[in-house]
Structure 1
């Protein structure tokens, strides 16, 4: 069973998005794109040939252009990566900014894509695309410690593997805020060292 568009908008409306003031980082946006009438979201595996973070699990997204709003950037990247074009009215709200160790400040944008959008993954950027049911991400995260940081590394045990931050942090916050109505913050969670570059 999925979430209705009204339920998602209401949950995000009750949540106070927390931006981060980090002018030292490059701005980026990712899209948490709801499909199957709000019962699933789109998750990709980055192409192995990409210079940055090859082969990692990710939400569609990327760097924002100068003057571009996070919602517009997330929708543009969704079109570039998956061939899915959405209008501005598909934007439902924002989750908290997340600063990455690799030099980006990510703003997660929740998008509504309807029942069964046609996807045309760009093989230059995307190795795989999955429609992940929301009950799959409705799991307790794992936290591990690393010598390089005092903050816990967040991992989500989904899809028979571990998905790490930043994707794990964003998905966990979506689960908490939208699926359970809990105003949980995730910006303090760490990424694994392999994602720091």
Structure 2
């Protein structure tokens, strides 16, 4: 189920994205990077030696530098983590901001990388990188309850396991907006307790 660059850009242009006003949180950006002519996106597993969220599944991304917009931050992090350099023309649009329990305000940026670029994962930050076919995220997530929160915890079945928020929430909204044409909101979805730190 490949998507075209035009379809993706159009779907994001029609989407009324919701930013969050949370000056108490550190701004960050992640990139949903489409490649293989719109057939797959890039997903990483964070290195086990990282101080925060070691070993967790993640979209390439990180904290936004002062004065840096989310698109530039996502592209910089993509270059630092995977050696993939994209220019501003690769930015197709933004999804809703997502506030994390660990103190970040994430802005998801959808990017387009032509063809099958050569990736050079930085072992300091990335232990694994996967080209995930889009049909694997075009599924219904699982929602569970936890005693620590009234909000549902989202779990996305992927690669033989469950991926959790914030990554699961961002990918679910991408699926809804770009693949299904639905303006589904995800900011209320909870993260598992292990991701709160």
* TM-score, length of structure 2 as denominator length: 0.99
State how far apart, in whole Å, the 1-side matches of 2:17 and 2:124 are.
Answer: 32
User: Aligned residue for 1:132?
Assistant: 132
User: Aligned residue for 2:33?
Assistant: 33
Say if 2:2 is the partner of 1:2.
Answer: yes
Once the two structures are TM-superposed, the CA of residue 58 in structure 1 deviates from its matched residue by 0.1
User: Aligned residue for 1:11?
Assistant: 11
User: Aligned residue for 1:111?
Assistant: 111
State how far apart, in whole Å, the 2-side matches of 1:191 and 1:75 are.
Answer: 25
Once the two structures are TM-superposed, the CA of residue 114 in structure 1 deviates from its matched residue by 1.1
Question: Equivalent residue of 1:130, what SS?
Answer: strand
User: Aligned residue for 2:95?
Assistant: 95
Unaligned 5+ runs, structure 2: none
Once the two structures are TM-superposed, the CA of residue 17 in structure 1 deviates from its matched residue by 1.0
State how far apart, in whole Å, the 1-side matches of 2:56 and 2:122 are.
Answer: 16
State how far apart, in whole Å, the 2-side matches of 1:170 and 1:55 are.
Answer: 18
State how far apart, in whole Å, the 2-side matches of 1:144 and 1:132 are.
Answer: 24
Once the two structures are TM-superposed, the CA of residue 7 in structure 1 deviates from its matched residue by 0.3
Unaligned 5+ runs, structure 1: none
User: Aligned residue for 1:65?
Assistant: 65
Aligned residues: 197
Once the two structures are TM-superposed, the CA of residue 84 in structure 1 deviates from its matched residue by 0.2
User: Aligned residue for 2:179?
Assistant: 179
Question: Equivalent residue of 1:48, what SS?
Answer: coil
State how far apart, in whole Å, the 1-side matches of 2:124 and 2:23 are.
Answer: 30
State how far apart, in whole Å, the 1-side matches of 2:45 and 2:174 are.
Answer: 19
User: Aligned residue for 2:188?
Assistant: 188
State how far apart, in whole Å, the 2-side matches of 1:118 and 1:98 are.
Answer: 30
Once the two structures are TM-superposed, the CA of residue 11 in structure 1 deviates from its matched residue by 0.4
State how far apart, in whole Å, the 2-side matches of 1:102 and 1:89 are.
Answer: 31
* TM-score, length of structure 1 as denominator length: 0.99
Once the two structures are TM-superposed, the CA of residue 115 in structure 1 deviates from its matched residue by 1.2
